[in-house]
Structure 1
């Protein structure tokens, strides 16, 4: 999937969509930030900096401080695709984040979302 259009999208374009999805289901921006931080290692300032700099999705994940070791435990379907079967490492990370936000929006408990 090298060169997939989503790789060059600005993360600042995706972030509000994640927040909107969560807020429609009475979850918060802070919870979305917590999920993103857990997966990528970004703190609030680092996440804000990536958004303000206009980093694309590929750069956002490439510069992630510490991808969580339990991310391999993120499994299931996102848009009909099994997260754990995605071959491209970058696309898998994108799908993992999508899955976490989906779980948040579906009302799953945060400790379950964060695989604790």
Structure 2
């Protein structure tokens, strides 16, 4: 599945800090915690709480966020549809990485067990 270059550009320049509060709100509204959200983000990107906070304060773009990330080798196990796109069919690496994060946040909000979210089983 191909995304448009315009779509990919919008994602690349969007600030992680502008989306982060929506992630927090989404998971907390469904009874999950900010700590669980940070655990999921750390699993995907390798960022500690301190590093994550620094990136939020610097208002880095998603492009810079994922350039600095040390993506888990198990990221390719994240599959399914998010925002109308089948993740495993997205061709643009950055867009795919952002959708990985969106999918993990969605799974957390839907009450999925942490072991499954972190692809430990």
Displacement after TM superposition at 1:9 (Å): 1.1
4+ long deviations beyond 4 Å: none
Which structure 2 residues correspond to residues 1-116 of structure 1 after superposition, within 5 A?
1-2=4-5, 3-64=8-69, 66-116=70-120
Q: TM-score, normalised by structure 2?
A: 0.91
Q: TM-score, normalised by structure 1?
A: 0.95
SS at match of 2:91: coil
Q: Which whole-Å CA distance do the structure 2 matches of 1:113 and 1:37 have between them?
A: 12
Q: CA RMSD in A?
A: 1.0
- Which structure has more relative contact order (CA 8 Å, sep 6+)? It is 2
Give the paired residue count. Answer: 115
SS at match of 1:12: helix
Q: Which whole-Å CA distance do the structure 1 matches of 2:114 and 2:90 have between them?
A: 24
SS at match of 1:67: coil
Q: Which whole-Å CA distance do the structure 1 matches of 2:15 and 2:106 have between them?
A: 20
Which runs of 5 or more structure 1 residues have no equivalent in the other structure? none
